Chains A and B, each alone.
Chain A
Amino acid sequence: MEENKINLPKNISAWTRPDSPRLITSKNIFDYMNGAGELYLGYHFNSLEVYEYKSKDENDILLELYFMESSDDSFGLLSLDWEGETVVFDRSTNKISNSSIVPPVRALYGKGLLRIWSGNLYVRIMAVRDTSTAKDVILQLGKMITTNRQDASPPEMLNVLSPSVAPNWKLRKDRVSYFHSHLILNSLYYLSHKNILRLNHSTEAVFASYERILNSKDRDRIHFLAIKYPDTEKAKQAIDSFHNAYLPEYKQNKPLDSPDGSTKFFKIEDGWLGYRQQNRSIAVVFECPDMESAQAIINQPRLQYLFVDFNVHNPEAKGDVKEINDKED
C-alpha cells in the first residue's frame, strides 16, 4: 500500500480549494457519480477524494484522487483510453520503455481533462472550460501530485502480448486495456449482457487489438482477450460457460478435460474465433479473417506467460518463459 496523503495547495493562481475534500467510499460512490461508480468498483477501489478549485473570474477545476489498492488497478483505469496529449512531469522518473507494449505514458491531457496513473493513485483533473490558464494550473497540480511518488511498472499480465505476430499482425498499443470486470470488458468489446466469462475481482484480464494493413485504405483488425483465474477449476468453468453461451451450436466440440489444456477454432458470423484454456488461464481471439491468423495469435510464444503457470503449479517454468521471450526478442 502506498502513501495516501497528497498535499495540495490551498491556493493556486486564481483558484482556491476548500480546506477538506469530499470523501467518497464504495458505500456512497453512486451518490457522487451515479452508474459511473461501477467502473471504479470494477477495479479494487479504496476511496476517492474530491476537491473543487473555485475562482471568481475563472471556471471551476475539479480534482479527483482515486486511491486504488494497487498500481495495476490505477494503470487499468488509464488504459481504458490512451488518447490525448502525453504529459511528462519528471523525465527522470518516467521510465516506461518505448518498446513497451503500451504507450510509454503516465499522464494524458485533452480538452481540459488531465488523467494520471501514479502508483496506486489514479487522478482526474478537469476544467469546466479548456483555457490556457486553466491548463497551466491543471498541469501544475498534476506535477505537485506526482512529485516524490514512486512510479510503478505496468501490470505483469501485459507480458502475454507480443508487439507483433507473424506473418504481419501488429499490436495496436493504444488498444491495450487491463481490467477485472465484465462490465468493463463490455465497454471495450461487447460479448454478452451476462458475465459469460465469469470475470470478477479475483481475475485479471487484458484486452488488445492487432491489425494488419492490406493497402492504403483497408486493414484487418482482430481482437484478443487473455484472462487469468485464481485456479484451474475456475478457468475450466469459465471456458465452459463461454462456450455454452457463445457457441451453443458447437456442443460436440466442447473443450476436452485434459491436463494439456484445449485449443479450439470456430467459424462464426464475424470470422474465425479461437480459444485456449490451459491451467488457470484462457485466451480468446475474435474476428480473425482466417483460421491461420487465429492460430498464429493463440499460439504466439509470449502466451507462455499466460499458460505456463509458474506461480502456482510450476515454479521451475519461469526460466523456460524467459528463454522463449529472449528468443523472440
Chain B
Amino acid sequence: MQKKQGILTRRDFIRGTVGTTLGVSLMGPKWLHSNEKKAGPSLVIIVRDQNVMDANRNINTGILKKMLDQTVITLTGKENIKDAWLSLLSPKDTIGLVPTPHLNPTHTEVVEVVQNSLMAAGIPQEKIREAQGGPDKPKACTALIPLPGLKAHWLTGIGTVLKNYILYSGNPRNYHGENNAKLGETWNLPFVKGKTKLILVDALYPLCDKGPQPDPRYKWAYNGLIAGFDPVAVEAVCLKIITEKRKALKGEPWPLSPPPLCVEAAEKVYKLGTSRMENITIKHFGWEKDLLI
C-alpha cells in the first residue's frame, strides 16, 4: 500500500489502518507521547436510576448521591464511600473538579454531589476547586477528577472524556479540524500527567449528535453515571452508547462524522488506555432499559 504522506482518509477507517497512519502523522514532542501500557482489562462502571430525573429534568440529588456512592465504591472495591475516596485522594491534595462548560454542560448537581461527597470523606472544602480552564488550573492542583457531560461533537466525533482537558493546552483551536486526533496529548502535558484520579461522566442527559450547538432533538434521558480510571476505556464505552442511540433514532446506522480519531490515537499514540471493547470490563447497575451497551 502506498501511504507515505501520513494523510488519514476515510479509507483508513474502512481498511483498519488508522493507527498506522496516525503514528506517522502525529509527530510531536516525545514528552507528549508515552511508553506506558495499562496492565489487564480496564473496568468501566455504569450506574443508572430511572428516577434520578423527573419529566421536567429536575434532578433528585438524593438518588444521584446513591448512584455516585455505588459508582466509586464498585470502582475502588472499598467498603464505603469514605474509604473509596481516600483510596484515591489524600486530604492534603488540592483537588480540581473538571466539568464540561459548553455544548452539553455538566449538571451543577453532579459537581455539587461530588464536592459534598469528598467533603464528607474528610477532604477540606478549601482543598476542592473547579479546575476547568487554562493551564493555570491544573498547575494549581495535585489531583484532578474530570466530570464531562456525555456528548458527540462536530469537530472531534465525540467530545466527552479526551476533550475535557482541551483548555489546559492554552490554545484549544490547535485541536480543531485535522488536529483533533492529538487531543490525547493534553493528558500527557507535564502539569496534567498522573494527576487524574478518576473519570466520572455525567450521562444523565446526553447529546448524541455532533451539534455544534445544543440541539434538544438529539438529547435523551439516559439517567446514568459512567466511571473508570482508564480515560480511553471510559470514552470507548461512551462512544458505544452514543453510536447505539444514533442507530436507534434513525433506524439504521448513523455513523459519527468525523469519526472520533482521538480515541484510537489516545490508545495507540498517547498510550492513555484501551479503546478495544474486548479489553474493557463493563459493570452496570440499576435501570436496564435502553442501556445501549
A112-B216, A270-B14 known; A192 vs B8 contact (CB < 8 Å)? yes
CB of B115 to closest CB in A, whole Å:
24
Which of A39, A186, A195 is packed against the most chain B CB atoms within 10 Å?
A186
Tell me what chain B mostly uses at the interface: helix, strand, loop, or mixed: loop
With A84-B217, A196-B9 in contact, do A36 and B2 touch (Cβ < 8 Å)? no
A286 to chain B: closest residue by CB: B10
Does A141 interact with chain B (Cβ within 8 Å)?
A: no
- Flag if B216 contacts A130 (CB, 8 Å): yes
Chain B 245-287: CB-based contact to A (< 8 A → 1; otherwise 0): 0000000000001110100000000000000000000000000
Cross-chain contact A194 with B178 (CB below 8 angstroms): yes
Mark out the residues of chain B between 190 and 217 whose CB falls within 8 Å of any chain A CB in the assembled complex: 210-217
A186, B154: Cα distance in complex, Å: 9
A320 to B236, CA, bound (A): 54
CB neighbors of B among A263-280 (8 A) = 268-270
State whether B214 touches A126 (Cβ < 8 A).
Answer: yes
Q: A110-B217, A196-B9 are in contact. Are A190 and B257 (CB under 8 A)?
A: yes
Asked if B176 is at the interface of the complex by the 8 Å CB criterion, the answer is yes
Q: Of the listed stretches A4-12, A14-22, A142-150, A245-253, name the one at the interface; the rest are far from the partner chain.
A: A245-253
Report the nearest A residue to B101, measured CB to CB: A34
Query: Total A-B pairs in contact (CB under 8 Å)?
Result: 110
Number of interface residues of A (CB under 8 A): 40
- Across-interface contacts of A188 in B (CB, < 8 A): 257
The reply to whether A186 and B257 contact each other, CB–CB distance below 8 Å, is yes
B92 CB–A CB distance under 8 Å? no
- Which residues of B approach A to under 8 Å, CB–CB? 1-5, 7-11, 13-15, 56-57, 101-103, 153-155, 172-173, 176-181, 210-217, 219, 257-259, 261
Q: List 30 A-B contacts (CB under 8 A).
A: A30-B173, A33-B102, A35-B153, A35-B155, A36-B102, A36-B211, A36-B212, A36-B213, A38-B155, A38-B177, A38-B212, A84-B217, A110-B215, A111-B217, A113-B217, A129-B57, A187-B257, A190-B10, A190-B258, A190-B259, A191-B9, A193-B8, A194-B7, A194-B8, A196-B9, A245-B7, A248-B3, A249-B1, A251-B2, A268-B11
A35-B212, A248-B3 known; 15 other A-B pairs, CB under 8 Å? A30-B172, A30-B173, A35-B173, A38-B176, A38-B177, A83-B217, A113-B216, A126-B216, A182-B177, A190-B258, A192-B8, A193-B180, A248-B5, A251-B2, A268-B11
